């Protein structure tokens, strides 16, 4: 259990500065609704209903990238989820922002502009340095308390995440509480039976690092996606090569080859690899091939095959806990969704403790009509989930723990 002060501990009628993570896919300049809005809305609604004056901060994208936008569209989506007005001010800590904060009445909600539009936010620095930036020193006197709900950004040492807890009483929001507990479970909880981890997706470098770090905690790894093909390649099969203009395999193979070979060598008995793979046949339909029959590099494989999906079911059903990181195939294309959906269905049928992480993978849950309630937790964190899985501490979380300990 964490040792945070939570929003239950806030003094009545506070003016609270709340850090959310509303970083979202952007389409045609507009933020797309997603789980992050729905989850953070609970914290925001609870604060407003309790009569606090609620000032929200969040980031979107990074300067120089296409997804670096204003948060005005985010305010509209958030308001729909909260069921209350969310005012927006196109300023981070200037006179306009401060005047809007001062004018708030009890129960009103205000979203400030993208924190990354302010120069003090981004360069990573110590909490002490961040707490002395103009961004923090200008905003802090206009509020009574700081609430961090942005677990999924807590690995970043940015001003809005690590600067405020040093100058204001700091509390954890509801999303921070639930994400912390579920995501640290693999590193901190004892399970009675086997622990299984489903490993896939495109970020092989990240997940192979997690496999290495968790070798002693996880009883079996079920592999697919890019990492799965790289392990098959290490086992001597001619797969996991970039085909056409793909750039997923060769670079990650060069960067991780030694680690993959040593993990396979030391934990080979715990690593389950696909025995068949799926690809796009000449007729455009899904085609499958047994891994043992692949003797030359010709195809780009886009999913694990049906024999593999069937073989991954029993170990999941026997598990006491299952953690998912990354999809087993290109599930966005229905032809190649069998691996990802197959393991999610197997998990949903059990009553084991289960955490599904990663923004992309968790999207498969609604795409294929699965019920989120059948999983113990569907995480909204990407980079922070990876770090939590390996037991690495997150700077912004540590500061909330320090704040509670110093009480």
Ligand X SMILES: Nc1ncnc2c1ncn2[C@@H]1O[C@H](COP(=O)(O)OP(=O)(O)OP(=O)(O)O)[C@@H](O)[C@H]1O
Ligand Y SMILES: O=C(O)[C@H](O)COP(=O)(O)O
327 near ligand X, judged by CB under 6 A: yes
Only one of the segments 38-46, 94-102, 196-204, 307-315 lies at the binding site for ligand X (rule: CB under 6 A); that segment is 196-204
Which x/- pattern over 44-63 shows residues binding ligand Y (rule: CB under 6 A)? ------------------x-
Q: Of 180 and 385, which has the nearer Cβ to ligand X?
A: 385
Q: Angle CA(65)–CA(29)–CA(362) in degrees, nearest 5?
A: 80
Q: How many CB atoms lie within 10 A of CB 65?
A: 10
Q: Which structure tokens are listed for 153?
A: 């950004």
Which residues of 52-126 form beta strands (DSSP E)? 53-57, 87-88, 109-111
Q: Does 114 bind ligand X (CB under 6 A)?
A: no
Nearer to ligand X, 173 or 225 (CB): 225
Nearer to ligand X, 163 or 359 (CB): 359
Q: How many residues bind ligand Y (CB under 6 A)?
A: 8
- The 10 Å CB-count burial string (b at 16+, else e) for 91-108 is bbbeeebbebbeebeeeb
Contact 257, 229 (CB under 8 A): no
**In the complex, which residue's CB is closest to ligand X?**
358
| DSSP structural state of residue 379 | -
Q: How many chain residues bind ligand X (CB under 6 A)? A: 20
387: annotated binding-site residue? no
Longest dimension (CA), the chain: 70
Q: Which of residues 340-369 bind ligand X (CB under 6 A)?
A: 358-361
The encoded tokens of residue 340 equal 């990802």
Cα–Cα distance for residue pair 392/402, rounded to 1 Å: 16
Least Cα distance to 152 among 25, 323, 37, 36 occurs for 36
Binding-site partner at residue 327 among ligand X, ligand Y, none, CB < 5 to 8 Å by type: ligand X
Answer yes or no whether residue 330 interacts with ligand X by CB under 6 A. yes
Considering the complex, state which of residue 26 and residue 215 has its C-beta at the smaller distance from ligand Y. 26
Instruction: List the single partner that 127 binds among ligand X, ligand Y, none, CB under 5 to 8 Å by kind.
Output: none
Is residue 194 a contact residue for ligand Y (CB under 6 A)?
Answer: no
What do you get for the CA distance between the two ends of the chain, in Å? 18
Q: Could you please report the per-residue DSSP string of 5-34?
A: -BGGGSPTT-EEEEE------EETTEEPP-
Residues that bind ligand X (CB under 6 A): 200-203, 225-226, 248, 301-302, 325-327, 329-330, 332, 358-361, 382
Residues that bind ligand Y (CB under 6 A): 21, 23, 62, 152-153, 156, 382-383
């Amino acid at each position: 259990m964490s040792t945070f002060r939570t929003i239950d501990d806030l003094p009545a009628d506070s003016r609270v500065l709340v850090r959310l993570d509303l970083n979202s896919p952007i389409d045609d300049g507009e933020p797309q609704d997603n789980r992050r809005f729905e989850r953070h809305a609970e914290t925001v609604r609870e604060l407003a209903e309790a009569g606090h004056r609620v000032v929200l901060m969040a980031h979107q994208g990074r300067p120089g990238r296409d997804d670096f936008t204003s948060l005005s569209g985010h305010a509209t989506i958030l308001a729909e989820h909260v069921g209350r007005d969310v005012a927006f001010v196109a300023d981070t800590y200037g006179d306009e922002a401060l005047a809007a904060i001062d004018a708030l009445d009890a129960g009103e909600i205000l979203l400030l502009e993208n924190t990354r539009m302010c120069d003090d936010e981004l360069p990573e620095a110590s909490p002490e340095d961040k707490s002395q930036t103009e961004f923090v020193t200008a905003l802090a006197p206009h509020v009574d308390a700081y609430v961090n709900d942005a677990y999924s950004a807590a690995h970043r040492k940015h001003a809005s995440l690590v600067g405020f807890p040093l100058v204001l009483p700091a509390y954890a929001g509801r999303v921070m509480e639930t994400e912390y507990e579920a995501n640290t479970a693999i590193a901190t909880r004892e399970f009675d039976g086997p622990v299984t981890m489903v490993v896939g997706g495109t970020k092989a470098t990240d997940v192979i690092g997690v496999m290495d770090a968790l070798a002693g905690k996880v009883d079996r790894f079920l592999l697919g996606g890019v990492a799965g093909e790289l392990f098959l390649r290490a086992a001597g099969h001619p797969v996991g090569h970039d085909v056409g203009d793909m750039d997923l395999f060769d670079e990650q193979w060069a960067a991780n080859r030694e680690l993959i070979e040593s993990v396979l060598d030391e934990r080979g008995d715990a690593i389950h690899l696909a025995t068949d793979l799926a690809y796009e046949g000449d007729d455009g339909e899904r085609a499958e091939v047994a891994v043992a029959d692949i003797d030359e590099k010709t195809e780009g494989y886009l999913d694990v095959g049906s024999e593999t999906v069937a073989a991954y079911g029993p170990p999941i059903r026997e598990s006491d806990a299952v953690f998912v990181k990354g999809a087993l195939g290109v599930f966005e294309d229905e032809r190649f969704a069998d691996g990802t959906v197959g393991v999610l269905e197997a998990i949903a049928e059990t009553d084991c403790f289960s955490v599904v992480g990663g923004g992309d993978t968790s999207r498969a849950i609604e795409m294929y009509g699965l019920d989120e309630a059948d999983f113990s937790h569907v995480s909204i964190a990407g980079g922070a989930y990876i770090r939590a899985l390996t037991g690495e501490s997150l700077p912004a979380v540590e500061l909330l723990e320090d704040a509670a300990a110093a009480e």
